Structure 1
């Protein structure tokens, strides 16, 4: 039976939920507080010719993303051109640097050059990681996680040992590699999951396979091409989008949501999927209708926020790759600042993205487009003076690596983005950028529920619920939420 469904927020999970719910035959309306779709994956253009993706920049797990398009009879290539990056990225250490090649055979040679026998060990690591990827991403993360009984299947039961759910990622990596640079290289992907490697299940070695083995890609025109494609598919299914519409209240009676109030206007719906920040969504309900109280959220481990600088330079910067990781300082010191001390790091690590190395269209001719990102703790003090302090350090290290001089004098566009901006633009709890950390105690059924426990037609989707943070998981989360709608109608 056709029902009228509201989606709150047009981030990746909201776009996915809208498309799948509309495909199932429902009348779907998306309410977005900002003027364009995408949430954290928005894009903006400057008057002097730069195009900046505001959030995601690593196009990993291309098969999972393509599964979304396949579900609607398309391929990702029907909407945008994907370029395989070579090298995939470069990692800068205090006394050396590593460029991760596109070809796996070359990656093995690199590993062997740094540690005798590491090439064969990489094969063994990736074979196990591929298994986890195929079971984890194709089955494990597809569950709504109402109960552990969902995981009682012969395949998952037989896979339990191989999935390494009870081993920590750091110890797991050390079983394979002794060289500190290789250990850091293999630990790097789990930083996206929002916790220290020693607190992340070894299951997530699947990230290494989804990245290093399947490749690092770039959609020409920027990551926002994915957003535009998802929106177009939604519209083809009949989804209606309402922008500049901040939802102020979710109205419920007895055990059902009856309406939402947006811009002081009431809109009636048969069901609601909230792609907005989970904690914020709960504040739109009466307290006795919320799944979790404030103490619950305070007890959770959140993935980091970040300090971002969007920069335009009047000349091209030599010796800079599309993706560059500046890891000259100790990883653990920065991680401790984020999770243990909850303070700005003394010796930070950071990431530079330079899409104009691949896509000339994102900067004026002869110019360079650079995005600097430094992970920071959620909820910390954020002012312009602190931002500028770290900006100057990042620029200094960028100059040292590239051999460029006086880069500050060559900037013709500069914009910063940090904790308070995540709160303002996305109502992000404590300004988190990446959602809830994928620690063992916050995995699957132990994550915030995808369904409201007191209202039978309110569901949640996105990086604060199952399956977790990241672009492919957010797409999957939207699909799960849309499927859940069908179980109550």
Structure 2
């Protein structure tokens, strides 16, 4: 995109990963960008917690789908290795079961196959390869047909490329159902479905498409940015600032400003400090407004019928029906997350550890059907100091424990005493399970400092509707054309990016969403994307590198085999019919 004589002014509300990535893309493309963030730090859930030499990732703790990370740095005319030092996590996980057994998931295919065959028998390896083959198809098609495309209307679902491949994505079957086709033991089915928690969904409800997570973990590996996950945000913020973007922290906004018609965004109003008696708000003018705040929160608080008013009036929302609908949509789970500074190294823990409940399905039902804390939770334990020593003082460990719990969708009226009791119960259960399965004692006494996030604190810190840590759910009727796209439906020059907007939740998916947001803005303004977006990653340097298509003989062979199988099926069918007659 050529430099504009008068740069288009863009204001971004929120400095989460989606907002920072979009700021970097827009600034790189020649826009005048300013970001306003309510907290005094960037990254939102991708932020860090520090205490006395210990470092904890507040939210995401593993880097998946690395190609999407490489893509954004390439788009920004740089490279991922220039900004991040990624450490490979090996093994991927150690999974601890209630019966005392544990298994190790790895990117070493020989080791993984042996681990699977230990429980599945000699044919287990074949099941593993079949599962990963299907999961690879899900990953490739999702990248080509979903993560890189907008779905601005239901007509978008009728694209030939999508229709032809829709069945192969298995969107109407659950991950559990698809996994059960390849693994015959309950143990392995649990091992290859628990990661649906990363989507905030039950494996018994998450579409089969999302086995792409198991594929990227097993084939591409799990990675960790040295220095903490916030390094991703820092690097993108640095790139944005190098292109002139400005970031303003501790600056909550009141609402989005519009022109007299109420149909076009023209800036934002900053919220007045709590100690300021005047109602007068500071207006920040802009040509484009992009909202990275939680989607349901944004429609219920930031877009008013009278966007010229300096006062945010309750009940005067721009799209009240949409606001109510988004708030009432099925949301992903929340969590009680513990951040523990330990006085020693717990050798029996790897970087990523999973402790699964004995009543596996029932534990998910408690979360997603009853919106409560499971009677027996499955939980995830991350030890960043195991792979990055800078996360804790020498000879000590930093530990993060994530206990999935129902969001506040059903009820939001627990008292402070209720939450205190619930947190204490969760901590007691976690410690008892870890002590029992790891064979250690006195773990509570090893904790020298603790911080906790609950659904209430997730809601209050980051304006997350119902305290849902991953936004609106990803079931079939909350994705693609059913999910909110980048454009505001009735306010021109207003856009959205983040977990609850298309394409969805998770850091790599938010990065993909930032690209779709930029493309939408550029399309609406009639300006081209930067030349770096058209750079091809592969170049043939020799005739040895030229990629051939399938030769005619191979195509004919495939078609012949298919036709022969079809004919045999028809002959057998006819024979059975006439045999009965």
Which TM-score bucket, shorter chain as reference? over 0.9
The answer (yes or no) to whether the contact 1:14–1:274 under 8 Å persists in 2 is yes
Query: Within 5 A, what are the aligned runs for 1:5-154?
Result: 5-46=10-51, 48-95=52-99, 96-116=101-121, 117-154=123-160
Cα distance in 2, alignment partners of residues 85 and 420 from structure 1: 32
- Native 8 Å contact 2:373 2:404 kept in 1: no
Which whole-Å CA distance do the structure 2 matches of 1:6 and 1:178 have between them? 53
Q: Please say if residues 145 and 161 of structure 2, whose CA atoms lie closer than 8 Å, have aligned partners that are also in contact.
A: no
1:473 corresponding residue in structure 2: 509
Match of 1:271 among 279, 285, 288: 288
Query: Distance in 2 between the 1:449 and 1:56 partners?
Result: 24
Partners of 2:379 and 2:135 in 1: CA distance: 26
1:225-374 to 2 correspondence within 5 Å? 225-253=231-259, 254=261, 255-263=263-271, 264-282=281-299, 283-286=301-304, 287-290=316-319, 292-374=321-403
Contiguous gaps of at least 5 residues in structure 2 = 272-280, 305-315, 526-581
In the alignment, does 2:210 pair up with 1:201?
Answer: no
TM-score, normalization: structure 1?
A: 0.96
| C-alpha distance in structure 2 between counterparts of 1:452 and 1:291, whole Å | 13
Contact 1:145 1:445 in 2 (8 A): yes
1:174-208 per-position Cα deviation (integer Å, ceiling 9, x unaligned): 11111101111111122222322232221112121
CA distance in 1, matches of 2:467, 2:333: 9
Q: Name the stretch that deviates more: 395-404 or 86-95.
A: 395-404
| Deviation string, structure 1 residues 139-196 (Cα, Å, up to 9, x no partner) | 3222222124445544433322222223222211111111101111111122222322
Task: Write the distance in 1 (CA, Å) between the matches of 2:511 and 2:110.
Answer: 31
Q: Which is greater in Rg?
A: 2
Separation (CA, whole Å) in 2 of partners of 1:139 and 1:23: 26
2-structure distance, mates of 1:401, 1:292: 49
Which shows bigger deviation, 70-79 or 265-274?
Answer: 70-79
Check whether the contact 2:156–2:481 (CA below 8 A) recurs between aligned residues: no
1:262-290: CA deviation from partner (whole Å, max 9, x where unpaired): 14311000111101011221111214523
Give the gaps of 5 or more residues in structure 1.
none
Q: 1:233 offset after TM fit, Å?
A: 1.5
Change over 3 Å in CA distance of 1:292–1:110 after alignment to 2: farther
SS in structure 2 of the partner of residue 139 of structure 1: helix
Aligned residues: 488
Which residue of 401, 416, 427 corresponds with 2:463?
427
- Once the two structures are superposed, what CA deviation does each residue of 1:392-447 show, in whole Å capped at 9, x if it has no partner? 21122222233322122222211111111111111110111011111011111101
Say whether the 8 Å CA contact 2:296–2:327 is kept in structure 1: no
